[in-house]
């Protein structure tokens, strides 16, 4: 039985608390603390970690580390500050990794 966590700035994620997801608010500058939290959550029974794209920008290393493991799944979501396109870029990256070049979404605008 796993739990679900949401990480990001408070304004972007406080709504998820009412749904029953565990929220872990971070300011953009608390990257070290956030990285520690990612590791703690990963080994602490959290199956999915939703992370705002803004926060994810500073945690590339941690995200890459867990990408090849079955648990946890780290998924990027847009925050209140808007969509940075990083989530979609992540999908394109996996296409590139598999195929060699982005043949599917290369022509898309976003």
Partner 1 sequence: MAGSQVTPTRMELTRLKRKLVTATKGHRLLKDKRDELMRQFLDLVREDMELRKKVEKGIEDANRNFVLAKAGMSEETLRAALMAPKQEVYLNQDKKNVMSVDIPVFDYTTRTADKNDIYSYGFAFTSGDLDGAVKSLSDVLPDMLKLAEIEKSCQLMAAEIEKTRRRVNALEHVIIPETQEGIRYISMKLDENERSTQVRLMKVKDMMLEEAHKYSEKQNS
Contacts with partner 1 by CB under 8 A lie at 1-4, 11-12, 14-21, 47-48, 50, 67-68, 70-71, 73, 75, 77-80, 82-83, 87-88, 90-91, 94-95, 97-100, 104-105
| Of 33, 74, 73, 36, nearest in space to 56 by CA | 74
- Please state, in angstroms and rounded to a whole number, the distance separating the CA atoms of residues 37 and 15: 20
35 versus 75: smaller Cβ distance to partner 1: 75
- Nearest approach, Cβ of 10 to partner 1 (angstroms)? 9
19 versus 32: smaller Cβ distance to partner 1: 19
17 versus 33: smaller Cβ distance to partner 1: 17
22 versus 31: smaller Cβ distance to partner 1: 22
- Nearest approach, Cβ of 32 to partner 1 (angstroms)? 25
> Which three-class secondary structure state does DSSP give residue 74?
strand
Q: Which neighbouring-strand residues pair with 74?
A: 49
- Please state, in angstroms and rounded to a whole number, the distance separating the CA atoms of residues 69 and 38: 14
Rounded to the nearest 10°, the torsion over CA 86, 88, 89, 95 is: 150
């Amino acid at each position: 039985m796993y739990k679900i966590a949401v990480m990001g700035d408070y304004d972007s994620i406080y709504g998820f608390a009412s749904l029953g997801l565990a929220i872990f608010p971070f300011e953009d500058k608390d990257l070290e603390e956030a990285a520690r939290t990612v590791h703690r959550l990963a080994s602490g029974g959290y199956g999915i970690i939703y992370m705002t794209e803004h926060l994810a920008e500073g945690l590339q290393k941690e995200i890459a580390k867990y990408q090849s493991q079955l648990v946890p799944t780290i998924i990027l979501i847009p925050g209140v500050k808007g969509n940075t396109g990083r989530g979609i870029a992540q999908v394109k990256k996996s296409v590139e990794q598999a195929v060699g070049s982005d043949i599917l979404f290369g022509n898309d605008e976003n």
